[in-house]
Amino acid sequence: MSDVMALLTWTNIRFLLEGLGLTLVIAALSIACSAVLGAVLSVMRGSRIRALRALAAAYVELFKNTPLLLWIMFTFFVAQLPPLPAAVLAFTLFTSASVAEIVRGGLAGVPRGQYEAARSQGLSGAQMYVHIILPQALRNMVPALLSQFVTTIKDTSYLWGAMALQELMGRGMILMNSYNSTVQIFAIFALMALLYFIVCFTLSQAVRAYQRRLRGDR
């Protein structure tokens, strides 16, 4: 027990929490960038120009069917970017394929009547999207985007192994170097798992609560 107490110092906990901070920053940046790229992709997929549609479809298929870790390695070793940009780029490339599908689903979920009604009120195309369609589509998309955020948070754990970026997983591993009793290693793993769990569980519960509310609205 004293072993565990020796581990649970404020310094160590802050050390881990800083890692968690980096994890969240990377995940948030990636999701934000993916949202933009994903929206562009889904617009491309709905485009009238065949080549654009094909390009977007190929992009989505490529990233849907190859592992994230591969793209992390790719941006870091092949593209030779510094760790943080490499990480965010890899996550953005990978996640935007999923986000594109989410956006497409969100837009498809807005009833056609809404488009027609907006048009009949004399709104321009842009106005229609900004004031009528997107707010509704966004409401449909929020749960899926949050789940994607959870996935991204979990996936940041690759970054330590791939490019020694000190996110939560990395910080835990570093901490493990200075403690070597079984109980302590156990405790460090438990602590990491707990931190991930708290963040991800809270978010996924929020998703569920939000979905329940949406359903209740109807």
Residue closer to another protein by CB (options 121, 189) is 189
Q: Is 192 in the site for another protein (CB under 8 A)?
A: yes
DSSP for 153-177 reads: HHHTTHHHHHH---SHHHHHHHHHH
CB atoms within 10 A of CB 81: 17
State how far the Cα of 72 lies from the Cα of 75, in Å rounded to an integer.
Answer: 5
Residues for the chain: how many in total? Answer: 218
CB atoms within 10 A of CB 165: 23
| Stretch 28-67: interaction string toward another protein, x if CB under 8 A | ---------------------------------xx-xxxx
Amino acid at 69: L
Phi-psi region of 67 (alpha: psi -120 to 50; beta: other; left: phi over 0): beta
Q: Is 197 in the site for another protein (CB under 8 A)?
A: yes
Considering only 7, 16, 31, 68, the residue that binds another protein (CB under 8 A) is 68
Q: Is 109 in the site for another protein (CB under 8 A)?
A: yes
Q: Is 144 in the site for another protein (CB under 8 A)?
A: no
Q: Is 158 in the site for another protein (CB under 8 A)?
A: yes
Residues at the contact surface with another protein, assessed by CB under 8 A: 61-62, 64-70, 73-74, 77-78, 108-109, 111-113, 150, 154-158, 161-162, 169, 176, 182, 185-186, 189, 192-193, 196-197, 200-201, 204, 218
